Amino acid sequence: MVDKKIAYEKLGRLKEIIKGYESVLVAFSGGVDSTFLLKVSFDVLGDKVIAVFSSSVLSPQREKEDAEKIAKDIGAKLIVIERDVFSNGDFMKNDRLRCYYCKKDLVKRLKVLKEELNLNEIVEGSNIDDLQDFRPGRKALEEEGIKSPLFEAGLTKEEIRYLSKEFGLSTYQKHSSACLVTRIPYGDEITLEKLQMIEKAEDYLVQKGFSQVRVRHHGAVARIEVAKEELSKFFDTKLLDEVSNVLKALGFKYVTLDLSGYRTGSMN
């Protein structure tokens, strides 16, 4: 349960932090946190705020489309940059620091863009709850001096969702997302084919009405994770057959359902 008074106190703190930046480049994914950050930043700084979406094979096309629509609804300018992640040799080793290497590479691009746009700071949407998961990418952000105002203001995910709803943001109940490579085990080769298989499989399951979906790629095996409250949908044997056939047509030999359901960082 969110304490409304405390949530609004933290919102006031957030506005003061952002006001002190004077102008910002917002690393924007279209998720709950970065949307809330963009909204508050735009309310405080107006056209001194520019959002940037990093587009690559690591993010589903639907996320790019969502980000473009959300930024337009807020009224903020959005720049989309294209990245070739396969050129990052450290990232392609796919060890436990892959997120660190990816973030390092992204920040280099953002810093160049910040200078070109003559903006003071780069901000991103990490919150207090993000400390509870293994996130090597956060280390890269700290090393490069990227600001995390939601974290600085002490905001939790639940408070961000509450305030997002208060602001009328459609993302207030949006499920968390992560780049597609998080569906591939550490040490396994990262290929375009695998990423496309994962994206198409997850797009299909979203179209079938599942709200929280991960398709983990274990070689010939697809391991499906959905929210626990949605597991019962698979009691429909017709749906089971359809899901199996569709994912096998994408290239998987075996299709399994994880009975533990979706959980953040299960591949860690």
Known catalytic residues? 179
As a whole number of angstroms, the distance between CA 38 and CA 162 comes to 16
Q: What strand order describes the sheet that includes 254-257?
A: 213-218, 221-226, 254-257
Write the burial class of residue 206 (CB in 10 Å: 0-12 exposed, 13-18 middle, 19+ buried): middle
**Interacting residues of 266 by C-beta distance below 8 A, sequence separation 6+:** 214, 216, 225, 258, 260
As a whole number of angstroms, the distance between CA 122 and CA 116 comes to 13
As a whole number of angstroms, the distance between CA 135 and CA 141 comes to 11
As a whole number of angstroms, the distance between CA 63 and CA 176 comes to 11
Note whether 250 and 197 are within 8 A (CB): yes
